[in-house]
Amino acid sequence: MSHGIVTPWTENRPHPPFVTICISLMCIFALLVYSGLSPVMQQAMIEVAGMQPSLVSALLAKSPASWWDFSSLSVVSALFIHANWLHLLGNLAYLWVFGIKVEQRLGSIGISLIFLLGGALANIIVALRLPQLDTPIIGASGAVSAVVGAYLGLFPGRRIGLFLPLGLYLQFARVPALLVIGSWFTLQLLYTVFGPINGAVAWWTHLAGFALGLSFALIARALAQIRL
């Protein structure tokens, strides 16, 4: 009888989303600091903490022993820097919608790895994809996209509650997560192919982060099945 076995994949005792809360607070604190600086200091903060693809790609072209440089830290520090509240709130909205369930399923370590490692790898992929770009890239878009991808990998059959506009009214409906995330992914793909890439937003981070998060989740599910 296996009814009494409790595994990491059960959701009977969900814990508060401590990591999601901490990530949100760190991003908000960074933006408050940024907002209180002069324009010159704001630019300096972006240049120091932001990920500059040309520097990272040049670093990766060297021997692995040279990779541990200050520039390499920017692939992580850039995840917590945002230039305005609209940029931040957009990322936090997706983080809370999808991240809480991912954290409840994978735990604090799992969500931390997906956010930090997924976001860092997404930034590295952007650096390899756009090695001549000198403008720093900031924001948690790649990391949040990894969380969205992980959600799809963990809960492919889930439905997400949304308020849909029907004329002058909003109608609540539960839409399949695959449809919601698929629409989001398609939009990012269109932006990548047809839209501009600037210093604040690199749409490649969305695509790379999503693919990485989805891969992490599928690997985690496979490992869990093997243990069971």
Q: What is the pLDDT of residues 203-212, one digit of tens each?
A: 777 888 888 9
Buried residues in 169-200 as b, exposed as e (16+ CB within 10 A): eeeeeeeebeebbeebbeebeebbeeeebeeb
Q: Does residue 12 sit within a domain?
A: no
Give the range of the structural domain holding residue 91, as residue numbers without chain letter.
18-227
Q: Does residue 97 sit within a domain?
A: yes
Taking the C-alpha atoms of residue 133 and residue 135, their distance in angstroms, rounded to an integer, is: 6
CB within 8 A of 45, min separation 6: which ones?
A: 33, 34, 37, 81
Q: Does residue 77 sit within a domain?
A: yes
Instruction: Return mean pLDDT, the chain.
Output: 81
Q: Does residue 4 sit within a domain?
A: no
Number of folded domains that form the chain? 1
Q: Does residue 3 sit within a domain?
A: no
Buried residues in 82-113 as b, exposed as e (16+ CB within 10 A): bbeeebbebbbebbebbbbbbbbbbeeebbbb
Q: Does residue 169 sit within a domain?
A: yes
Q: Does residue 70 sit within a domain?
A: yes
Q: Does residue 8 sit within a domain?
A: no
Asked which of 67-76, 93-102, 107-116, 148-157 is least confident by mean pLDDT, the reply is: 67-76
* CATH assignment at residue 174: 1.20.1540.10
pTM of the model: 0.82
Token code pair at residue 138: 């900031």
Which pLDDT does position 189 carry in this prediction? 66
Taking the C-alpha atoms of residue 108 and residue 163, their distance in angstroms, rounded to an integer, is: 30
Q: What is the pLDDT of residues 37-60, one digit of tens each?
A: 999 999 999 999 999 988 888 888
